[in-house]
Every structure is written in C-alpha cells, then in structure tokens.
C-alpha cells in the first residue's frame, strides 16, 4: 500500500512552529517511503477562513521546501460531507440536539460539581418526536451529534504511543454540524481521509480523543481507519510554550534571519531520541527519520537553540546557496572571508562594509601611530600580503601576538575582532589598506 499522509491547516492565520512541525513530519513520513503527501485546506469555517492565509500557507511550505502531490479544499467538497451525513443519519448514527451553549455549559458545571466527567448526557435522545417538533416550531434549529457506540471498545496501535484503548461511554458524542448547517472538524476530516486514501495520520497528542471518536466514524462509514500516531506537543524552556514562541511563524522566522534549512533541521528531530544537529540537507534527515525514535516527553523548543543551529548551517553554506541574497560586490572569496563571523545572513552586509568602507578607526597613542606608519611603509602586495606584512613587522619591531596583530586589525578594519585578516586583507586591496594604515599613523 502506498503511504499517503496529509497536512490539513485551517486558513485562519499564519503557520506557526507547532503546525510547521506537523507538516514536516507528515512530509517526511511520506517521502521516506516513496509515498504521497497531500495539502488539504480545511476552510469550511467561512467566517474565519481568509484567502490570503491560503496563499501564505502555500508560500510558507514552498519556503521550507515541502512540496505536495495534490491540494484539496474542503469548501469545494461540501456535497461529499452532505452525502456522508445522510448515510449516518439513515443508519441512526447522528441525531439533532436543541440545547443552547448556555444550557450545555450549565450541564457541565453541574456534572463537575458532582465529581462527574463533563460528558454530554444525551438529553436530546430522550426527546419525543412531538417535543422536537415543538422546538423547531419555536424556530430553534438543531445542531447535530454523532452517536458513539458505547458497546464498542475503541482500540488502535498508535505509531508513537503504542496500544490505545478508549471506553466510548466516557466520551461525549461530538457535534459534527452546527445549527446553521456548517460543518465542524470531525466528519469532513474523516470523509476526506477515506476518499483521499490517507493511510497514515501523524498529529499532536492533543488529538488522541478525536482519534477515538473518528475511528468509530470510519467504521460507521464502512471504511478501515488509517494508521494513527500522536507526537508530543512543543513546550518552551520553562514548560508551556510562550505566546511569542507559539505564534512564531515562517514570516517571523524570515524577519529574524532564520534559514529554512535550520528550522527543518531543528523541527525534524525535536521530540525524538536523535540529537538536533545543523544538518542542512533534508535527504540526510530523511535517512534517520523513524517514528520509533519519537518519545512521549514534551518536545522543548528553544529559540536560542534554533539560532545556534542557524549559525552553524550558515557557516557551512556554499557561496552558490546564498549568492542571490548577498549585498552587491560580495563574491565567493568575500563570502568565504566573512562567513565564519555571521549569525544571520543580514550580518554579511555589516561585515562587508569593513571592506568597502568607510571605517571608524580608534584613537591610537603615539607609539602605536609610529608602528602603523612603519606598517604602511612595509606593506608589499603579494599572494599573502597579511602574512608577509606581519612577518616583516615582527622582525623589525620585535612585536608579537596581540601587540602585533591588534593595532593592525584596528587600523585596517576599525574592529577589535572579525574575519581572518589573511582572507580579508586581499579583499580590502593594496591602495585602500595603505591609505588606512597611513591615516591611522596620522598621515
């Protein structure tokens, strides 16, 4: 059987780190086994769904390099849900309910007050046909629930959590359709998974009880359930994922200078027994992707770790991978020189200004100015101007170590630290280097 997975975001906002991770792992599960990865836009909520978010989702997946084999939109499949609803209705597996939100809330509070689980009491099933007709005559439109089979134990072998078992009597019959006729998540998702041939569903552990309910929906629709796996949710360094991190999406990542390869490298292994490493190629990550490595403990997302991975990946990136995003004038040699000093690609422009100038030199004392004047005279251009210059000055002045190198770096770059001067000095060039040394000497 071809493995088919899906990513099913609602276009009500930007993708954030949690659902980016879900998309990535489903993509990896499919690609690892030569299967299919589907993008399904869950846009049945007309009030909250916005078209510009659909486009943003596509752009974010493209930025991450997560291609998909097909795209579906639930808003274009309403007739399919209607048909499934009528099938369930004919089988007696859905029923109308007339309680208001306030009445349901009161019921839950009473149950909790009595130490009982807040499960729907199936009060609507006790209504007679006359009572239902009376409510509809009053203008009360019903919402609809799927009736769970309490006699059927719900079990599955979860790809991460292992054997799972639920007592259907301990679950509420889920609302599948609102009073205005619009659909909630449960039924359309099950119908789509059946008709699109989804074989594996990998999602967060907050969906475990949804899975229990949907397994009965699959059975009621005469379909075999797919394989399910539920991964641990993301948390921050101090436990709960902060609002800032929880809402951190691809747009914010790009603004902060995060490379897509870094985000992929971090999220691919977050929550597994494998170390998070600065692995820049998705192919290398796919080789080690295995649900057996996923753990039950919360997966800790730390933006400081992401920054470290990002920096490490940038330090290994070839010029060709970044050339179109570098400031004008930076060639392969320039990139090789400044690359070890950057944390984000935006830093490249700051370091390149050391080459192009102008620079701000510190104030030097008389002895140092004399030394720099001698350096201006000693500068000879060659294949290794920095090595030749420092060797000459070491011999003529007796300076070594910091006393030799630091004044030269400060005069040539205006900085106390930075790229390797052996690589940087040829980029600055002979004329500009001599001019800076002479200026620092007071000339």
Spell out the domain ranges in the chain: 4-74+185-232, 81-177, 366-440
Place of tokens 């990946």: 313
Two tokens at 172? 């509420």
Which pLDDT belongs to residue 247? Answer: 66
Outline where 91-234 has alpha helix (H): 101-113, 129-137, 186-195, 208-220
Provide the pairing of β-strand 299-300 with 94-97.
unpaired
Q: Is the pTM of this model over 0.85?
A: yes
What are the structure tokens assigned to 320, written together?
């060709």
The arithmetic mean of pLDDT across residues 341-362, rounded, is: 94
Q: Could you tell me the end-to-end alpha-carbon distance of the chain, in angstroms, rounded to an integer?
A: 79
Average pLDDT on 77-101 reads 97
pLDDT beyond 90 at 389? yes
pLDDT band at 305 (very low <50, low <70, confident <90, very high): very high
Separation CA 410–CA 430 (nearest Å): 16
Confidence of residue 245 (pLDDT cuts 50, 70, 90): low
The tens digit of pLDDT for each residue in 219-234 reads 999 999 999 999 999 8
- Quote the CA–CA distance of 425 and 390 in Å, as a whole number: 12
Of the options 3.40.50.2000, 1.25.40.10, 3.90.800.10, 3.40.50.620, the CATH number for the domain spanning 81-177: 3.90.800.10
**Residue ranges at the known binding site:** 243
**Rounded CA gap, 263 and 265, in Å?**
5
In this model, does residue 343 exceed pLDDT 90?
A: yes
pLDDT at position 222 is: 97
User: What are residue 154's phi and psi, to 5 degrees?
Assistant: -100, 115
- Kindly tell me if the per-residue pLDDT of 275 is higher than 90: yes
- Please enumerate, by residue number, every residue annotated as part of a binding site for ATP: 243
pLDDT-based confidence at 246, cuts 50/70/90?
low
Write 432-436 long-range contacts (CB < 8 A, 24+). 432/357, 433/379, 433/385, 434/376, 434/379, 436/357, 436/359, 436/361, 436/411, 436/412
pLDDT the model gives residue 102: 93
In the block, residue with structure tokens 């599955």:
156
Asked if the model's pLDDT at residue 237 lies above 80, the reply is no
Q: Which residues contact 61 (CB under 8 A, 6 or more apart)?
A: 7, 15, 23, 39, 67, 68
pLDDT of residue 250: 87
How high is the pLDDT of residue 242?
60
pLDDT in tens, 199-217: 999 999 999 999 999 999 9
Domain 366-440 has what CATH class?
mainly alpha
Angstrom distance (rounded) from CA 106 to CA 109: 5
Q: Is 31 left (phi over 0), alpha (psi -120 to 50) or beta?
A: alpha
Residue 236: per-residue pLDDT? 83
- Output the pLDDT for position 235: 87
Predicted confidence (pLDDT) per residue in 10-36, tens digit: 999 889 898 999 999 999 999 999 999
> Mean pLDDT across the chain, nearest whole number?
94
pLDDT band (50, 70, 90) for residue 378: very high
Interatomic CA distance for residues 263 and 234, integer angstroms: 14
Q: Is the pLDDT of residue 239 over 80?
A: no
357 three-class SS: coil
* Mean of pLDDT values over 421-437: 96
* Block residue for tokens 């916005």: 50
Q: Which of 29, 39, 26, 33 is nearest to 69 (CA)?
A: 39
- pLDDT, tens digit, for every residue of 25-75? 999 999 999 999 999 999 998 888 999 999 999 999 999 999 999 999 999
Q: Work out the percent of the chain whose per-residue pLDDT is above 90.
A: 88
With left for phi above 0 and alpha for psi between -120 and 50, is residue 236 left, alpha or beta? beta
Question: Residue 335 pLDDT > 70, yes or no?
Answer: yes
Statement: residue 443 has pLDDT above 80: no
**What is the tens place of the pLDDT at every residue in 306-327?**
999 999 999 999 999 999 999 9
- Bond before 358 cis per omega within 30 degrees: yes
pLDDT surpasses 90 at 238: no
pLDDT at residue 244 tops 70: no
Q: Which fold has domain 4-74+185-232?
A: Rossmann fold (3.40.50)
Tokens read off for 197? 């041939």
Res 277 pLDDT > 70? yes
């Amino acid at each position: 059987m071809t493995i088919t997975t899906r990513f099913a975001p609602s276009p009500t906002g930007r993708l954030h780190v949690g659902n980016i991770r879900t998309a990535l792992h489903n993509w990896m599960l499919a690609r690892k086994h030569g299967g299919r990865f589907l993008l399904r836009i869950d846009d049945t909520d007309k009030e909250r769904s916005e078209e510009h978010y659909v486009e943003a989702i596509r752009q974010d997946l493209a930025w991450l390099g997560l291609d998909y084999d097909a795209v579906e939109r639930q808003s274009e499949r309403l007739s399919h849900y209607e048909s499934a609803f009528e099938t369930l209705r004919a089988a007696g597996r859905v029923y109308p309910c007339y309680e208001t939100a306030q009445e349901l809330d009161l019921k839950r509070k009473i149950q909790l007050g009595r130490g009982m689980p807040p499960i729907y009491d199936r009060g609507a099933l006790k209504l007679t046909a006359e009572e239902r007709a009376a409510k509809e005559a009053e203008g009360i439109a019903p919402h609809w629930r799927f009736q769970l089979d309490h006699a059927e134990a719900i079990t599955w072998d979860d790809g991460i959590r292992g054997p799972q078992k639920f007592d259907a009597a301990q679950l509420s019959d889920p609302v599948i359709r609102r009073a205005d006729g619009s659909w909630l998540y449960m039924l359309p998702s099950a119908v789509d998974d059946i008709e699109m041939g989804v074989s594996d569903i990998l999602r967060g552990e907050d969906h475990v009880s949804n899975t229990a309910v949907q397994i009965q929906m699959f059975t009621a629709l005469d379909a075999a359930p797919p394989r399910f796996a539920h991964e641990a949710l993301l948390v921050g360094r101090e436990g709960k994922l902060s609002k800032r991190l929880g809402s951190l999406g691809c747009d914010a990542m790009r603004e902060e200078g995060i490379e897509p390869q870094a985000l992929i490298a971090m999220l691919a292994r977050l929550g597994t027994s494998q170390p998070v490493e600065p692995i820049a190629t998705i192919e290398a990550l796919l080789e080690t992707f295995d649900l057996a490595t996923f753990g039950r403990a919360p997966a800790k997302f730390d933006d400081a770790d992401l920054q470290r991975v990002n920096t490490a990946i940038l330090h290994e990136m070839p010029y060709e991978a970044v050339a179109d995003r570098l400031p004008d004038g930076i060639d392969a040699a320039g990139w090789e020189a400044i690359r070890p000093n950057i944390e984000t690609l935006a830093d490249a422009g700051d370091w390149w200004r050391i080459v192009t100038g102008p620079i701000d030199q510190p104030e030097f004392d008389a002895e140092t100015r004399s030394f720099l004047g001698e350096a201006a005279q000693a500068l000879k251009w060659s294949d290794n101007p920095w090595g030749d210059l420092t060797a000459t000055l070491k011999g003529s002045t007796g300076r070594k170590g910091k006393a030799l190198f630091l004044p030269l770096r400060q005069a040539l770059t205006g900085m106390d630290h930075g790229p390797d001067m052996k690589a940087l000095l040829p980029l600055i060039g002979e004329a500009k280097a001599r001019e800076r040394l002479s200026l620092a000497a007071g000339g």
